[in-house]
Structure 1
Amino acid sequence: MDAMLDLAAMILILIGALLCLTAAIGVLRFRDVPTRLHAATKPQVLGLILICLAIALSLRSWPVVAFLVPVVLIQLATAPLSAHMVGRQAYRNGTIDETGLFVDELAESKRTPPASGG
Structure 2
Amino acid sequence: MTEAATPLESALDVAALILILIGALLCLTAAIGLLRFRDVPSRLHAATKPQVLGLILVCLAIALSLRSWPVVAFLVPVVLIQLATAPLSAHMVGRQAYRNGTIDENGLYVDELAESHRTPPAAGG
Q: Which residue of 2 aligns with 1:113?
A: 120
Structure 2: distance between partners of 1:117 and 1:49: 44
Identity percentage over the alignment? 89
Shift of the alpha carbon at 1:99? 1.0
Q: Which residue of 1 aligns with 2:15?
A: 8
Q: Which residue of 2 aligns with 1:75?
A: 82
Shift of the alpha carbon at 1:117? 1.5
Q: Which moved more, 1:70-79 or 1:108-117?
A: 108-117
Structure 2: distance between partners of 1:109 and 1:55: 46
- Structure 1 residues not aligned, in runs of 5+: none
1:56 to 2:50 alignment? no
Shift of the alpha carbon at 1:116? 1.3
Structure 2: distance between partners of 1:62 and 1:73: 17
Query: Given the two structures, how large is their TM-score scaled by the length of structure 2?
Result: 0.94
Q: Which residue of 2 aligns with 1:17?
A: 24
Q: Deviation per CA, 1:9-52: give whole Å up to 9, x if none.
A: 00000000000000000000000000000000000000000000
Q: Which residue of 2 aligns with 1:96?
A: 103
Structure 2: distance between partners of 1:99 and 1:29: 21
Structure 1: distance between partners of 2:34 and 2:91: 16
Structure 1: distance between partners of 2:28 and 2:107: 27
Partner AA of 2:31 in structure 1 = A
Shift of the alpha carbon at 1:73? 0.2
Q: Which residue of 2 aligns with 1:39?
A: 46
Higher normalized helix content (fraction of residues): 1
Count of aligned positions: 118
Q: Deviation per CA, 1:61-109: give whole Å up to 9, x if none.
A: 0000000000000000000000000000000000001111010000000
1:26 to 2:33 alignment? yes
User: For 1:115, what is the secondary structure of its paired residue?
Assistant: coil
Structure 1: distance between partners of 2:20 and 2:121: 46
Partner AA of 1:11 in structure 2 = I
- Structure 2 residues not aligned, in runs of 5+: 1-7
Look at both structures and tell me which one has the larger radius of gyration over its CA atoms: 2
